[in-house]
Amino acid sequence: MNPLTVKINDHLTYIGVNDRYTHLFENMWPLPDGVSYNSYILDGGEETCLLDCVKIPSVGEFLDNISSVLNGRKLDYVIVNHMEPDHTSSLPTLLEIYPDIKIIGNKKTTRFLKNFYHITDNIIEVKEGEEVQIGSTSLTFYMTPMVHWPESMVAYEKSTGILFSQDAFGGFGTLDGSIFDDEINFEFYKDETIRYYTNIVGKYSVQVIRALDKLAGLDIQMICPDHGPIWRKNPEVIIDLYAKLSKQETENGVLIVYGSMYGNTEKMAEMIGKSLANEGIKNIRIRNIAEYPLSNLIAESWRYRGIILGCPTYNVGLFPPMDHFVRTLTKQNMKNHTLGYFTNYSWGGGAEKEFAAFAEKCGWDLLEAQPNVMGDPKEADIETLNQLGKEMAQALKEAFKDEY
Ligand code: FEO
C-alpha cells in the first residue's frame, strides 16, 4: 500500500493528491495554502470503482495511488460526479491505462465529456435517485445542478451513510498530515473554506440551499468531498457552515474598501472607521483595493453586514479597481447587506453616479450620507463622513439588537 493513500474503511480508500504548485485556482483565485483534489476507490468485492479524478499535473502520483490500491485487480467504473477539469483532466490518461472502464455520469456529463475530451464510449447515464450496484455495495445518485456546474451530482452509499459530495462541502487548503476532520484543527481550514465557498460556489447559493434541502433526508454519517477534509466524525460542522453561508447570514461588522491615488480617499476611509468605532462598532476592516486580493474582498463582503465603498473619480467614473470590484459584487447575488459609499474628486465628479447605479442594482439597504469631497476633507466634509459612520452603526444596532 502506498503510504500516501489512506484507508477510510474496509471498502474505501482515499487516493487524492495535494497541489502546492498551482498559484491560481481557475487561473483567478490565489492558493496560498494550496488545494487538495480528493479521489476515492470503492471496493465492492467483485467490482471496483473510482470516485472522481484529479488535475492533470498530478496524474503520475494519482495513477501510482490507483495501482497500489488495486494491486493488480481490475478497475471497473469511474464516477464523474463533477466535470470541472480539476477533477477530470486526468480522465483521458486514466482511460489510456484502463481502456475498459465504464464512466458513470448523467445526461449533462455526457455532453461535457464529448466537448472537453472527445469521450463518447462506455458511458452509463444515471438519473435522479437511481441506484447502481458496484459488486456487493451500491451507490445512489442525486443531482445537485450548479453546485458547482450544471452536471454536478453526488453519490450516496446507503449501508455506510457516506456521501461523495464533489465540490459541495469542500474548501481550499492542502490536507497536511491527516485527511480526517477529527485529526485536524478545522480552524486552520475555516477561512480557506469560506473563501472557497464565496469565490467558487457562492453565486449559486439558491441552488446550494436546494441541494442541502434534498440531502437533508439522507442519514449522512460521513462526507467525502472533492476538496478539503473528509468529515467522518462531525459532518454537521461543514453542513452547518455551508447552510450559514448559503443563507447569507451576515455578521455584525463593517468592511470598508477604498481606492486612493493620493491619500485623500484613504483619509476619508480612516475617518469613517473612527466614527464607527466611536459608535461602539468593534469589527471593522479597512482594505486598500489596490493591495488586497479580490478573492479575500469577496469573502469579507460575504461575511459582514456593513459594506462601505469609497474611491476617487477616474476618467469621469469609478477608480478602475473599484469599478471591477463592484461589477464582481453585482454578479455575486449577495444579500443581507447595508451599503454606504463615499467619493473624492479633484476637478469634476462621476464616481458618485456609478456608485448610485451600483446601489440600485444590488438592492441592499443604502445609507443616506454619501460624502463627495474635493481633495482634502474640510470641516463640513468631516461631519458628513462622521454621519456616514453613525448611520451604519445605527443600521447594525438595529440588525443585531441582541448584541447591544
Ligand atoms: Fe473542484 Fe468545480 O471544481
Chain-centre distance for alpha carbon 108: 22
- How does pLDDT run across 42-57, given as a tens digit for each residue? 999 999 999 999 999 9
- Contact (CB, 8 A) for 258 and 266: yes
Pocket lining: 167 vs ligand 1, CB cutoff 6 Å: yes
Pocket lining: 157 vs ligand 1, CB cutoff 6 Å: no
Q: How confident is the model at residue 299 (pLDDT cuts 50, 70, 90)?
A: very high
Indicate which atom in ligand 1 lies nearest the CA of residue 170.
1
Give the residue from 363, 348, 294, 342 showing the smallest Cα distance to 317.
Answer: 348
What DSSP string runs through 171-201?
A: -SB---S--BGGGS-THHHHHHHHHHIIIII
How many CA within 13 A on the CB side of residue 155?
29
Pocket lining: 11 vs ligand 1, CB cutoff 6 Å: no
Residue with cell 467483485: 46
Pocket lining: 148 vs ligand 1, CB cutoff 6 Å: yes
Strands 137-143 and 131-134, how do they pair? antiparallel
- How does pLDDT run across 228-244, given as a tens digit for each residue? 999 999 999 999 999 99
Kindly list the strands in the beta sheet with 12-14, ordered across the sheet, starting from the edge strand earlier in the chain: 6-9, 12-14, 40-43, 48-51, 77-79, 102-105, 123-125
Q: How confident is the model at residue 2 (pLDDT cuts 50, 70, 90)?
A: confident
Give the residue from 223, 257, 34, 44 showing the smallest Cα distance to 136.
Answer: 44
Ligand 1 centroid vs 154 CA: distance in angstroms? 13
Ligand 1 centroid vs 87 CA: distance in angstroms? 7
Indicate which atom in ligand 1 lies nearest the CA of residue 149.
2
Average pLDDT, the chain: 97
Indicate which atom in ligand 1 lies nearest the CA of residue 166.
1
Pocket lining: 226 vs ligand 1, CB cutoff 6 Å: yes
Residue with cell 441592499: 364
Ligand 1 centroid vs 114 CA: distance in angstroms? 18
Separation of alpha carbons 116 and 246, rounded Å: 30
Give the residue from 280, 289, 222 showing the smallest Cα distance to 255.
Answer: 289
Pocket lining: 55 vs ligand 1, CB cutoff 6 Å: no
Chain-centre distance for alpha carbon 109: 22
Specify the length of the chain in residues.
Answer: 404
- How does pLDDT run across 133-190, given as a tens digit for each residue? 999 999 999 999 999 899 999 999 999 999 999 999 999 999 999 999 999 999 999 9
Q: Which run of H or E residues covers position 323?
A: helix 320-331
Pocket lining: 303 vs ligand 1, CB cutoff 6 Å: no
Strands 251-258 and 222-225, how do they pair? unpaired
Q: How confident is the model at residue 1 (pLDDT cuts 50, 70, 90)?
A: low
Percent of the chain predicted with pLDDT > 70: 100
